[in-house]
């Protein structure tokens, strides 16, 4: 279904019901008794991914200019975070920032900024689920962003023409 995005982490899934502004947390530890929790997030949900712990589903509401941090363990919205115009993370990138601790990053369509969101409510409480920094990216915006495990820092994927950036 083109209206749903599913992130597979263990046996709990985050499912976006895109235009409605709702995210479903589907727990299927017992396949005979599925548990579904409906969470109001923000309209026009798009894509997203997990934070480094696998607990938080970070999802872009790109026409609302927000990221919804959904706590899959508790089955509730942790926070709606304003990040700037048209966030477009793909799965997003997660890494350890020297000041802010664990962060999750998203690029934006049409501008060269990368927003960092703190994702550690226990070890870095002051920065948790806040936009903690904005980095300058490459050119006109990132289509997706990810963290190659061999590098440990985010790499935006930008649009290419004839194999050139």
pLDDT tens-digit profile of 34-53? Answer: 889 999 999 989 888 889 88
Q: Does residue 12 lie within any of the structural domains?
A: yes
Q: Does residue 51 lie within any of the structural domains?
A: yes
Q: Does residue 1 lie within any of the structural domains?
A: no
Confidence (pLDDT) at 28: 79
The whole-angstrom separation of Cα 81 and Cα 151 is: 27
CATH number (domain holding residue 17): 2.130.10.10
Q: Does residue 44 lie within any of the structural domains?
A: yes
Q: Is 162 helix (H, G, I), strand (E, B) or coil?
A: coil
**CA torsion sign, 135 to 19 to 90 to 73?**
positive
The whole-angstrom separation of Cα 22 and Cα 98 is: 34
Q: Does residue 148 lie within any of the structural domains?
A: yes
Q: Which of 24, 137, 126, 122 is nearest to 89 (CA)?
A: 137
Q: Does residue 117 lie within any of the structural domains?
A: yes
Confidence (pLDDT) at 155: 56
Q: Does residue 164 lie within any of the structural domains?
A: no
Q: Does residue 163 lie within any of the structural domains?
A: no
The residue segments making up the domain with residue 80 are 6-155
Specify the DSSP class assigned to residue 155.
E
Domain count, the chain: 1
> Across the strands, what pairs with 37?
25
pLDDT over 50 (residue 2): no
Mean pLDDT to the nearest integer, 49-72: 92
Q: Please indicate whether residue 158 or residue 74 has the higher confidence score (pLDDT).
A: 74
For 97-156, the pLDDT digits (tens) are 999 999 999 988 888 899 999 999 999 999 999 999 999 877 766 667 777 665 555 555
């Amino acid at each position: 279904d083109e209206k749903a995005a599913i992130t597979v982490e263990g046996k709990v899934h985050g499912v976006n019901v895109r235009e409605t502004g709702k995210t479903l947390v589907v727990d299927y530890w017992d396949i005979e008794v599925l548990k579904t929790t409906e969470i109001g997030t923000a309209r026009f949900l798009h894509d997203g991914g997990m934070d480094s712990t696998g607990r938080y589903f970070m999802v872009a509401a790109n026409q609302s200019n927000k990221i919804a941090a959904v706590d899959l363990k508790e089955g509730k919205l942790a926070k709606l975070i304003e990040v700037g115009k048209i966030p477009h993370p793909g799965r997003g990138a997660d890494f350890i920032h020297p000041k802010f601790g664990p962060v999750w990053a998203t690029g934006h369509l049409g501008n060269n900024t990368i927003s960092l969101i703190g994702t550690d409510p226990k070890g870095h409480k002051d920065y948790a689920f806040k936009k903690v920094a904005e980095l300058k990216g490459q050119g006109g915006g990132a289509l997706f962003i990810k963290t190659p495990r061999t590098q440990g820092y985010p790499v935006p994927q930008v649009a290419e023409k004839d194999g050139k950036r």
